[in-house]
Amino acid sequence: MSGFVVLVVLFAAFLHAAWNAAIKIGTNKYFNTVLVTSGAGLVCAAVLPFVRQPAFESWTFMLASVVLQVAYFYLLAAAYRHGDMSQAYPMMRGTAPLLVALVSASVIGEAVPTLRWLGLGMLVLGILGLSLSGQTSNGDKSQALASRGFALLNACFIAGYTVVDGIGVRKSGAPAAYTMWIFLLTALVLLAIVLLRDRQAFFAYIRGKYFLGVAGGTASVASYGLALWAMTLAPVAAIAALRETSILFATAIAAWVLHEKISARRLTAILLAVAGAIVIRYT
């Protein structure tokens, strides 16, 4: 893998952490989520007419993925509403590959190399450390517990759409368009729900925050698009492993931008989870 590709993937990982921070940074995490996903939907709507469209056989998987991703964004907002990004983000991103690996081994019957078992063990210890890391930055233990619950539940949905998209994107014959349709349809569903339930409050909240939606949405699409591009030039496993550095970027953003207090115990757990996730992805 060339140095340039490495830099591109690291930038994609940073963008993933950045759009998550865009959701966390506001007072209403759900409205911020709709704002960011709407921005992503606009970007995809502008590009979709000019790319090859996915095969009809993939649409069932695409729609299933949209359902899972709508739930994912609700749980993402809930996790960030109740707790720290430096705890919720690593738990969500780290637990998902653990679940995918376990499902692959137990359901599909995929052989698990010895090194991957080591990665699984490291990841379990890291997530366990994060789940026991106590309280939020403001000292609220009950809120931290709720955030951990939402984060772990969300990891199940991340694993779910990862498996669904793994099948769907192969059937589509057009990975880029398949992904952009998911971004667009997810945005439309989330926007429709908020307009039906909280239209006035939503419009009042987003006034003056349009840049957040455009920037966060663009970062979301670019993060995934750059990773897909890199996978055409380097081994998929290597790219997937390198993308796990988004957890480190999220931790840095949480500490320096969101001013979250990150204890040595939490940092150790995060590093262990990242190392485990990288080993799993690379083996």
Query: 168: closest CA among 46, 279, 69?
Result: 69
Residue 276 has a pLDDT of 81
pLDDT > 70? residue 216? yes
Residue 162 has a pLDDT of 82
The per-residue pLDDT of the chain, averaged, comes to 86
- 133 confidence band (pLDDT: 50, 70, 90): low
DSSP 229-282: HHHTTS-HHHHHHHHTTHHHHHHHHHHHTS-----HHHHHHHHHHHHHHHHHHH
Question: Does pTM surpass 0.85?
Answer: yes
Residue 67 has a pLDDT of 97
Residue 89 has a pLDDT of 92
Q: Hey, what amino acid is at 210? A: Y
